[in-house]
Amino acid sequence: MASLSHLHSGQGTGNRSSGNPLRLEDGTELFARISRRGGLIRLIMKDSYLGVRARPVQELEVTSEARRRGIPVAEPIGAMVEWVASFLYRSIFLTRPMPGMTLWEFLCTDDDARVRGYVVEQARQAIDTMHRKGLLHADLNLHNLFVTTARESFAVTILDLDKARLFQGPLPARMRARNLTRLRQSVEKLDPSGRYLDSRAIESLTRR
């Protein structure tokens, strides 16, 4: 299996730009998502984080519980943490690999309006399940909704729970609205002309 340093030094391949497919000696396949910063701070601390508890450890706990509750999330396998210095670490989150593509990639490549509409509805059902079962996603967007094929049909999985929070019972309306507002902003940023998502599809995906 590749070392943590080797994975961080690579460009990343697979279904996420910051990820690498891995194969263990026994043939087990995994997918490793490298923790990388966004915003301006990425220029200073590209893949390093400060803290006494690595975020992927928390993500592992949240994802495992979300999956136990029946929320459609990637199957978590574990986390790898490399302490660079006191309170400074780099990390990788491990899941079972999934064939498919992000919702945004799917919308850009499938030209069948009926199929796109069906997948959008599947995405909305995944979001509703997430909200009903108490998961608040910190950055819901078209890149962390993942489209896979299941039993000759499509299914949508929710990715990247590194900042997500779990609550007992359904999320209150204000939290659901926060998720859906962020998702609408993602749609407007990626598809400002409505080439891939018309007003009806946007309403279906982001209605409160």
* 17-63 pLDDT tens trace: 557 788 888 888 888 887 654 444 444 455 666 565 667 888 999 99
What is the structure's pLDDT at 40?
Answer: 43
Contacts 24+ apart (CB under 8 A), 79-83: 79/54, 80/4, 80/32, 80/56, 81/54, 81/56, 81/57, 82/4, 82/5
Query: Do 162 and 106 share a domain, yes or no?
Result: yes
Query: Do 87 and 108 share a domain, yes or no?
Result: no
Query: Do 134 and 81 share a domain, yes or no?
Result: no
Name the pTM for this structure. 0.82
What is the structure's pLDDT at 53?
Answer: 67
Parent domain of 143: 101-206
Tell me the two tokens of residue 81. 């943490």
Query: Do 105 and 173 share a domain, yes or no?
Result: yes
Count how many domains the chain has.
2
CATH code, domain with 144:
1.10.510.10
What is the structure's pLDDT at 135?
Answer: 97
What is the structure's pLDDT at 25?
Answer: 83
Q: Which of 95, 126, 153 is the last residue in one of the domains?
A: 95
Please list the ranges in the chain whose pLDDT falls under 70: 1-18, 35-54, 85, 89
Query: Do 125 and 105 share a domain, yes or no?
Result: yes
